[in-house]
Amino acid sequence: MEKIFNNTAIAFALKSDSELEKAYFLFKMIANEPLVRIGTMVTNFALTVHLPVEGLIRATVFDHFCGGVNENDCLAVVDKMFSKGVSSVLDYSVEGKEEEEQFDAALKMTLKTIDFAKERHAIPFAVFKPTGLGRFELYEKISDHQSLTPEEKEEWDRVVARFDLVCHEAYQKDVGLLIDAEESWMQNATDELIVQMMRKYNKTKPIVYNTLQMYRKDRFDYLKNLHLQAKKEGFFIGIKLVRGAYMEKENERAEEKGYPTPICSSKEATDLNYNSVLHYIIEHLDTMALFAGTHNEESAYYLIELMHQKRIKENDKRIWFGQLYGMSDHISFNLAAYGYNVIKYVPFGPVKDVMPYLIRRAEENTSVAGQTSRELNLIKVERKRRKEN
Ligand SMILES: Cc1cc2nc3c(=O)[nH]c(=O)nc-3n(C[C@H](O)[C@H](O)[C@H](O)COP(=O)(O)OP(=O)(O)OC[C@H]3O[C@@H](n4cnc5c(N)ncnc54)[C@H](O)[C@@H]3O)c2cc1C
């Protein structure tokens, strides 16, 4: 297959020379694992004791990985990317909140992003995180089949009502709705809730998308069972397919509590699992839609190949490729140049509240995690190309 992702001129067309230099220094910096570790500690401390570090964070990691502090800030980025055929999904990335008012605020923000999506061709989806709308421990208790106190039952009813409101709004406004996946020990409750929503709002087409983390050994079987259920009951399945972002946490907890880890035994096993489900969904597009959230070039090429084999048009609306803003532009912009449906997750929120998200990005981009060398190399290639032209 032609290696379309190697075209750095297309990948970085939106970056001025100075923006390219900035990206170069940023990726060089976060390739350094001890620096990221120490930087994370110092930054968290500085934010806790209210040192004025927000400006520094904004000028470095924040502006690279986020669209802004609020939804309106993001529109400049959204329009710019759409000029090259890359769509956006606005991702309110505030994490770790535990209060009812905060859940209601996240609900309001999610509803607003659905409105934004309704009004803009460049924003075909909305997204939310289950723990943005309810307490982690409550999901965990339900996932573990523990009984709830009367207060907790009422609390859960409010979570269900929030889910329903968001899904109903997306359905009414005909906007695809992605629901993120989190830790496995809270996911059963989310899965059940999402199936209820699919049953209600995916009757004629996929509106609600659940996320499958393919580092989990059980997810392919889960999908096959869901498929049987969907066929029997007559609803469509929307799937966001990712590898999974909480591997260390999953393995550590399994070891600590003495149960077998739910995570695949190797990276290769996860890759195989991911690609097998890509194949499965492409085989069943009559009842399924796919949002392939990945920075893995092999998986992206594999999906292209599957589409070619099945003679599926590049812009078939049942298939989307997704990457995170600030990462893997070589995949996003080259796919868009070839007419594929591509979306960037554009995170936004107050600087200190998106820190957990930024830390995850910095950590997965260290040289240890391996992603950066690819980003850095491509930026180097493009710098050289520009100097020679
Ligand atoms: C648009 C988008 C949306 C996303 N949404 C979510 C979400 O809702 N929930 C979520 O959890 N993550 C989400 N992610 C993050 C995603 O799960 C991955 O962490 C990230 O994309 C890196 O995986 P990759 O497919 O890009 O490929 P790669 O960089 O090739 O794969 C890295 C991944 O492989 C797996 N892996 C690495 N080493 C091993 C090992 N030794 N054994 C087993 N598996 C291993 C891990 O999952 C690791 O993250 C999203 C990513 C994108 C691009």
For residues 126-148, give the mean pLDDT: 97
CA atoms of 208 and 185, how far apart (whole Å): 22
Q: Which atom of ligand 1 is nearest to the CA of 291?
A: 1
Q: Is the CB of 87 under 6 A from ligand 1?
A: no
Q: How far does the centroid of ligand 1 lie from the alpha carbon of residue 311, in Å? A: 28
Q: What is the pLDDT of residue 366?
A: 74
pLDDT (0 to 100) of residue 269: 98
Whole-number pLDDT of residue 157: 98
Position 369 confidence tier, pLDDT thresholds 50, 70, 90: low
**Ligand 1 pocket residue status of 67, Cβ below 6 Å:** no
Residue type at 144 in one-letter notation = D
Of the chain, the percentage scoring pLDDT greater than 70 comes to: 98
Measuring from atom 45 of ligand 1, which residue has the nearest CA?
A: 267
Distance CA 330, CA 5 (A): 5
Provide CB contacts within 8 A for 302, sequence distance 6+. Answer: 275, 278
pLDDT of 367 above 70: no
pLDDT at 364 over 80: no
Out of 72-81, 97-106, 328-337, least confident range: 97-106
Amino acid letter at 115?
Answer: D
**Overall average pLDDT of the 355-364 stretch:** 84
Supply the pLDDT for residue 308: 97
Report whether residue 264 contacts ligand 1, using a CB cutoff of 6 Å.
yes
pLDDT 10s digits, 244-281:
999 999 999 999 999 999 999 999 999 999 999 999 99
Q: Which of 311, 329, 262, 259 is nearest to 86 (CA)?
A: 329
C-alpha–C-alpha distance, residues 231 and 225, integer Å: 10
Residue 370's pLDDT band (boundaries 50, 70, 90)? low
Q: Which residue, by CA, sits nearest to atom 27 of ligand 1?
A: 296
Reported as type and span, the H/E element at residue 292 is: strand 288-293
> Nearest-CA neighbor of 33 among 355, 327, 380, 364?
364
Neighbours of 34 (CB within 10 A): 8
The predicted model gives 338-352 an average pLDDT of 96
Buried b (16+ CB within 10 A) or exposed e, 1-22: eeebbebbebbbeebeeeeeeb
For ligand 1, the distance from its centroid to the CA atom of residue 120, given in whole angstroms, is 29
The reply to whether ligand 1 has any atom less than 6 angstroms from the CB of 324 is: yes
Per-residue pLDDT, 303: 98
- Binning pLDDT at 50, 70 and 90, where does residue 8 land? very high
Q: Which long-range contacts (CB under 8 A, 24 or more apart) does 35-41 make?
A: 36/362, 36/363, 36/366, 39/362, 40/359, 40/362, 40/363
Helix (H/G/I), strand (E/B), else coil: 193: helix
- Residue 28 above 80 pLDDT? yes
pLDDT for the residue 14 = 97
Cβ contacts of residue 351 below 8 Å, gap of 6+? 54, 57, 58, 62, 69
Q: Which atom of ligand 1 is nearest to the CA of 244?
A: 17
Whole-number average pLDDT of the chain: 94
Instruction: Tell me the pLDDT tens digit for each residue of 174-206.
Output: 999 999 999 999 999 999 999 999 999 999 999
pLDDT of residue 99: 93
30, pLDDT greater than 90: no
DSSP assignments along 2-40, one per residue: --GGG-HHHHTTT--HHHHHHHHHHHHHHT-HHHHHHHH
The predicted model gives 101-129 an average pLDDT of 96
What pLDDT, on the 0 to 100 scale, is given for residue 147?
97
Predicted local confidence at residue 41, as pLDDT: 80
Q: Tell me the DSSP string of 335-355.
A: HHHTT--EEEEEEES-GGGGH
Q: What is the pTM assigned to this prediction?
A: 0.95
- H-assigned helices in 174-218: 184-201
- In this structure, the residue with its CA closest to atom 4 of ligand 1 is 293
Quick count: other Cβ atoms within 10 Å of Cβ 211?
25
